[in-house]
Chains A and B, each alone.
Chain A
Amino acid sequence: MTSAAASVASGLSSGFDESRRTAPHVTIRGLSKRYPDAVIYDAFDFDIPRGKLISVFGPNGCGKSTLINMIAGLVPADSGEVLFDGRPLSRVKFGYVFQNYREALFPWLPAFDNIAYPLKLMGVPKAERKLRVERLVAHLGVKIDLALYPYYLSGGQQQLVSIMRALIVEPEVLFLDEPFSALDYEMTLFMREQLQRVFMETKTTTVLVSHDLEEAVYLSDYVLLLSRHPARVVEFVPYDAPRPRTDKTMSESSFVATKAHCLKLFQHEVRRG
């Protein structure tokens, strides 16, 4: 580790009150991405705040998923820079949750081993892997039989296993790409509560791509509204209702107003195209 990176790391653990940190967690500068038929991002700049849950929302095909995929290194950017507290992605522990949990989990491993797999990659010994998974399960209050193979679990349970697999490495940043869009409505509502609980418990910087405005506002501290491509920030809308938020939150005037504001901006963007 270089001395600069070391000092950043030590700053994180020297008893400094984390809640007082105001520097952005992830800085995105000059990010560009071009597909053969469209320019998706052209010198895109953005700062992701620390310890917040932000939702990315915007018109279809504007590159919501492409954004987190570039940040998480799944899709190479044509140019630009993404730094996590000044460090490149390769030095950062992060978690990523796919929309398609069925294809993201390993069906040949029981749910427990799926969750522990990232630790295995890191070379953590078996006994400790077991301990850490058990601790996470207890921490989140998960009630799933983790000895089962994923295909015996419901869709929501499988996605919860995916989220736990992303959390097991104690990531600095958690990315979720439309994690609930393959679930039915009942399960979606349940999973929103699970995610909110995870966030309240861990305070991990979280970036959620969503195609559901209600969900985006309900879960987030900020909604990042993107324009049609080439995407730019239309507005970074704050929403600071206290947590835990409940069904009642959704009928409060601040929720309704925030959602209406986002919808107005969104529709303006859609018509502009």
Chain B
Amino acid sequence: MTGRQQIARALLPLVGVAMLLAVWTLVNGLKLVDPVLLPSPTETFRTLWEGMTSGKLGVDFVKTVARTISSTAIAAVIAIPLGILLGSSEKLYRSVEFLIDFFRSTPASAMFPLFLVLFGVGDRTKISVAAFGAGLVILFNVAYGVMNARKTRLLAAKVMGASRTRVLFDVMLLESLPQTFVGLRNGVSLALVIIVVAEMFIGSTDGLGQRVFEAQQLFDMPGMYAAIFAAGALGYALNLLFLLIERRFVHWAGR
């Protein structure tokens, strides 16, 4: 591939962005939608920039990041060892599989009232509901990763004289890492969704969810779009961050 072709290929993802901005500008310029409901791209991004650099939006952004990361961290600390334990015995996993699948299928938002009763109105409720949702996702991915460890690899370790513990730590654990990262990525995405929803409705004073909700209540449309974009950027960045960590630590995944 020539240098010019490489550059063209790298710029390809920007085509969609440019198209969206063009349509948006056009719709706004021709006043096809009420400008109060749909502000211009420039106004929206100016609000986003000002809000992130000097306004309250930046503070809310950091708050949401902190809540999402702490709930994912709590989920990982509990779910990863538990997943390894469950995955290392198929019988054990099958015995609790229904429970895991049931609660994994239960919308985490339906758990808010219960967690409100348990933890009251505050960060603990938001973080624990998000950790609950993310934890189940991580748990079942880790367990499957351990259960689906390549049989040949386990046999190879066994035939070389590895004890059960050695097989667990030297082989199963590493074998399950790619699937563990799938769980972590899905978990952090889910945690962000839950945190944003919780910030909207569970008596919050800060966070991106609260910002979107408040902007809507005040009919501050540029502020609302700015907060939505900030939330989108956060979700994208978290996913990218976990992908980069995964590539660094699980260099063999998919090879």
Contact = CB atoms under 8 A, between A and B. Distances in A.
A122 B161 CA distance: 8
Interface string A131-153: 00000000000000000010100
B161 A98 contact: no
A159 to B, nearest CB: 13
Contact of B152 (A72, A73, A98, A108): A98
A104 interface: yes
Given A106-B174, A118-B161, A121-B166, A149 B153 contact: no
A222 interface: no
Nearest to A100: B152
B251 A149 contact: yes
B119 interface: no
Given A104-B152, A149-B251, A121 B159 contact: no
Contact of B160 (A103, A121, A149): A121
A96 interface: yes
Contacts of B170: 106, 117
B159 A96 contact: yes
Contact of A73 (B151, B159, B171): B159
A81 to B, nearest CB: 20
B252 interface: yes
A106 B158 CA distance: 13
A74 B152 CA distance: 10
A161 to B, nearest CB: 12
Nearest to A168: B160
A73 B174 CA distance: 25
Contacts of B161: 118, 121-122
A103 B255 contact: no
A107 B159 contact: no
A151 B156 contact: no
Contact of A106 (B155, B166, B171): B171
B252 A107 contact: yes
A104 B153 contact: yes
Interface string A227-242: 0000000000000000
A103 B152 contact: yes
Interface string B135-172: 00000000000000011110110111110001000110
Interface in A66-80: 72-74
Contacts of B153: 103-104, 106
A155 to B, nearest CB: 13
A232 to B, nearest CB: 27
Contacts of A104: 152-153, 156
Interface of B: 150-153, 155-156, 158-162, 166, 170-171, 174, 177, 251-252, 255
Given A74-B155, A121-B162, 8 more contacts: A103-B153, A104-B152, A107-B252, A108-B251, A117-B170, A121-B166, A122-B161, A151-B255
6 contacts: A73-B159, A105-B156, A107-B255, A108-B252, A117-B160, A118-B161
Top 5 nearest A-B pairs (CB, nearest first) are A107-B252, A103-B152, A151-B255, A118-B160, A103-B150
